[in-house]
A and B are shown apart, each in its own frame.
Chain A
Amino acid sequence: MADSDEEYAGEASEDEVDGSQISSRGGAAKPPRSKRKKNRGGAEWEVSRTWESLVEGADGTINSTVEGLLEAGKRKRLLRDTTPLQRGIIRHLILVLDLSHSMAEKDLRPTRYLLSLRYAQEFVREFFEQNPISQLGVLGLRDGLAVRVSDMSGNPTEQISAIQALREHDPKGLPSLQNGLEMARGALFHTPTHGTREVLIIFGSLLSSDPGDIHHTIATLVSEKIRVGIVGLAAQVAICRELCSKTNHGDDTTYGVALNEQHFRELVMGVTTPPATFSQRQSASSLLMMGFPSRSVEAHPSLCACHSNPSCGGYSCSRCNSKVCGLPAECPSCSLTLILSTHLARSYHHLFPLMNWVEVPWARASRSLACFACGITFPPVPPRDQWQAADVQSRGMSVSSRYECTVCRNNFCIDCDLFAHEVVHNCPGCQSETTSSTTPGLVQVADRMDTSA
């Protein structure tokens, strides 16, 4: 385990196309400055001139370029790192929302406040979708104080209704990062060591009015292995960058400033992916005792132990037989973790990610006429002399509109590529062939996983 990071560092930098996630690998290999700059998202839009990349097609329209750009955009999101990193699957995260008066700004529609509340709700839902056995709590920063919005729990609906209730209030006063961090630290203090401790701050202000020295707080956070990520809404703030960099072992990619609504959402939703574990600061892993209850249906309603609501169906704790109405939950009487085995399975695609598919040049494109999965026909192969002309389009996108799985060698269209990597996490080609080659990708990955873990 101890040397897993070095092992992957070299390979990872080859995979890396965009400097997207990789550099979160930690202090071992500090990414070059230029690469880091890309991640800030701040500086790039000022110089990129999108109109210059438009090329008029043969028919005098820009349709082909626009379509190309769309496809490139889809593809860009796909090309993420597929190294099977060890990830912190069991997470403990505190979401800190800025509720100060700077959130009343209307530069994000309808206001920063309402938009971040909406994204916070989506975040909570997606977080529990991706990390079903994790815990989450919500805090707010208002009037120089940290306000508790909801307690740490594993139930998304409670958190969402708590965030929903914030809509009634108006953003007010100044935020205090230090107070928020201290309160988050207190909430994470009792969490077991096998899980991660994370704080995500959505921060719209350019200042923090603190009662004491925030650097002391940062030092305590570092010693308690709490990782902080910040999504800024206004502009880069030096203390935020320092905070992220120090608590993430010198890696400040967890600090992002939103350019627009879309980018804001991407930054927030990016946090739902479980973070890679740093071997240097490896949290103690442990064996957890969990119950897998079966569902029972009763003729007469009875009260559940968790909410005291009468209900006919429910799950009875495998150890003490008390009834809980929903899973995952912690048994209220014997505090055994109760989950479904499907909840565990939901996290497997983080552990065994599907390999990225590669672009197919025209030279190899004649092997296939149609997408293997959905059967849509590919554009025909043009004569050889036109091959170069088409190559000007952006990187990461296939000139022939074909994408190939490196394991089963089948070709797919961009939509299936997107669908397979983002929704199903299966390769239609690999799964549709004989057992000998059923899951070579998976086996490979599992092997590599073995070495890393």
Chain B
Amino acid sequence: MNTIDATEHYSTSAHDRPPSLLTVILDTNPHAWAQLSSQSALPLSTAVANILVFLNAHLACNYANEVAVVASHTQKATWLYPVAAASPDSNQPPRDKDGDTPMPSHNRPPPPHEMNKYRPFRIVEEQVTQNLHRLLGGTTADDLSATTSTLMAGALTLALSHINRRTIAWAEAHGGETDPNAHANNTTTTSTNTAGGAAAASGGDKASTESGLQSRILILSVSSATGAAHQYIPIMNAIFACQRLQIPIDVCKLAGDAVFLQQAADATKGVYMALAEPRGLLQYLMMAFLPDQRSRRHLILPTRVDVDFRAACFCHRRVVDIGFVCSICLSIFCEPLEKGECLTCGSVLEMGDYGAKPAVVARKKKKKKVRGPGNGASATPTPTPTPGP
């Protein structure tokens, strides 16, 4: 109705920069942390202390900035901050054990030595440490022996849900562009296939690119990618969602190596850094990961030019340059299939001439060469050149 008023008002006040929401995903995989602290003397407690300083720095950049922290643990992904009201849901035993809503902790008078601490800092610090203690305390030996990987896909999905919620809330509070007509005009944003269905979501994502809440995700990863194979599809889905919403995923790799996270950072134009010296975590965080999207336009970012885009085949997990793809389920194979039957979906595929080997004229007085299936590498190297493929 009074859009004119509103736009006028906000264009004048638009000089104070819109706040940004930083979501930190902390990989709390105990296996990986045990390894890391023995190798490079960075225990989890020090890392958490460094992260808290970093979060405070982010909060201090702008009074309206927000943070969120998700833990990606071995058996579950859960919120460290902000924690939702306790639910009687049986799926979250650590949270409902005390049955407290987080409110009382806000109102509780701070310990005397923290009397003068900036309140947002104190709340973040209290909740993160409290919930982390609870999470680690609730981890049993059985949980640890069951798996060594971490639930990164779940943590990413939780983080995205929270970002979505905050973006909607921010747009509503500030008269943001939740108007479906406004988003129809917007041709640069990729919108979902059911038009206005995503009015809120894509209105929000448009807002995030221009004047709305800016969100980004920082992953502090310690686990290697070995366990992440079964999470491939969910992680990829989360990455594409970030790409659509223009949320950069920054990756700070303390140990191990994860191809998915490299691709995540590359696809969403985030920063990927594998730390050479994990003890300098705080400095890396402050220097490389503190600037928000707007500042980054003016900075030269640590980029990673050689991203490994090769695919792993579904049959032998080999990394391939040239692969064969089933036209029905898009599974990747490293060599033409024996019977022309897709190993994933079982459909019979037309092979084309891929499996065919060139006809070799038999040489006189030579042993017949034994060939490996499908590829041209000969098993026995012959000194004389052979008419191989």
Contacts and interface: CB of A to CB of B under 8 A. Distances in A.
Nearest to B267: A342
Given A345-B233, A439-B234, A415 B187 contact: no
A423 interface: yes
Contact of B89 (A86, A296, A410, A450): A410
B47 interface: no
Contacts of B184: 261, 265
Contacts of A34: none
Interface string A347-382: 111011000000000000011111111111100000
A148 interface: no
Contacts of B234: 426, 431, 439, 442
A311 interface: no
B347 A453 contact: yes
Contact of A289 (B82, B307, B324): B324
Given A262-B180, A418-B197, A424-B238, A453 B328 contact: yes
A363 B328 CA distance: 43
A381 B331 CA distance: 47
Interface residues of B, number: 93
A275 interface: no
A264 B256 CA distance: 50
Interface string A242-279: 00000000000000000001100110011011000000
B141 interface: no
A415 B202 CA distance: 12
A135 B88 CA distance: 51
Given A373-B162, A439-B230, A286 B192 contact: no
Contact of B157 (A270, A344, A373, A450): A373
Nearest to B348: A285
A372 B201 CA distance: 18
Contact of B241 (A270, A367, A424): A424
Contacts of A340: 309
Interface string B306-344: 111111100000001111111111101100110010100
Given A341-B311, A345-B236, A453-B347, A288 B194 contact: no
Contact of A433 (B154, B164, B195, B332): B154
B354 A289 contact: yes
B84 interface: yes
Residue of B82, B165, B195 with highest tally of chain A CB at under 10 A = B195
A6 interface: no
B10 interface: no
Number of chain A interface residues as a range: 35 or more
A295 B309 contact: yes
B214 interface: no
A349 B309 CA distance: 20
B76 interface: yes
The interface residues of chain A, by DSSP majority, are classed as: mixed
Contacts of A428: 154, 157-158, 161
B259 to A, nearest CB: 10
B213 interface: no
A411 B111 CA distance: 37
B311 to A, nearest CB: 3
Interface string B119-150: 00000000000000000000000010011010
A410 B197 CA distance: 23
B327 A89 contact: yes
Contacts of A235: none
A104 interface: no
A353 to B, nearest CB: 11
A241 interface: no
B330 A342 contact: no
A129 to B, nearest CB: 5
B350 interface: yes
Nearest to A348: B233
Interface string A413-453: 00110111011111111111111101100100000011001
B231 interface: yes
B91 interface: yes
A415 B165 contact: yes
B327 A194 contact: yes
A195 B327 contact: yes
Contacts of A450: 345-346
B164 A287 contact: no
A435 B87 contact: no
Interface stretch (A53-61, A119-127, A389-397): A119-127
Interface in B275-309: 305-309
B237 interface: yes
A408 interface: yes
B68 to A, nearest CB: 10
A291 B157 contact: no
Contacts of A424: 157, 160-161, 237-238, 241
A294 B197 CA distance: 37
A309 to B, nearest CB: 19
A266 B320 CA distance: 40
A434 B143 contact: yes
A370 B86 CA distance: 8
Interface string B192-221: 111111101100000000000000000000
Nearest to B310: A292
A12 interface: no
A69 interface: no
Contacts of B143: 434
Contact of A419 (B161, B325, B352): B161
Contacts of A372: 87, 89, 91
Contact of A319 (B75, B82, B322, B346): B322
A65 interface: no
8 contacts: A118-B187, A122-B191, A266-B195, A273-B193, A287-B327, A341-B332, A416-B161, A422-B198
Nearest first, the 6 closest Cβ-Cβ pairs linking A and B are: A375-B84, A432-B154, A431-B154, A341-B311, A373-B161, A374-B165
Given A290-B322, A315-B309, A453-B347, 18 more contacts: A118-B187, A266-B195, A287-B342, A288-B326, A289-B322, A294-B308, A370-B84, A374-B84, A411-B89, A415-B164, A423-B198, A431-B154, A431-B157, A432-B157, A433-B151, A434-B143, A434-B146, A453-B328
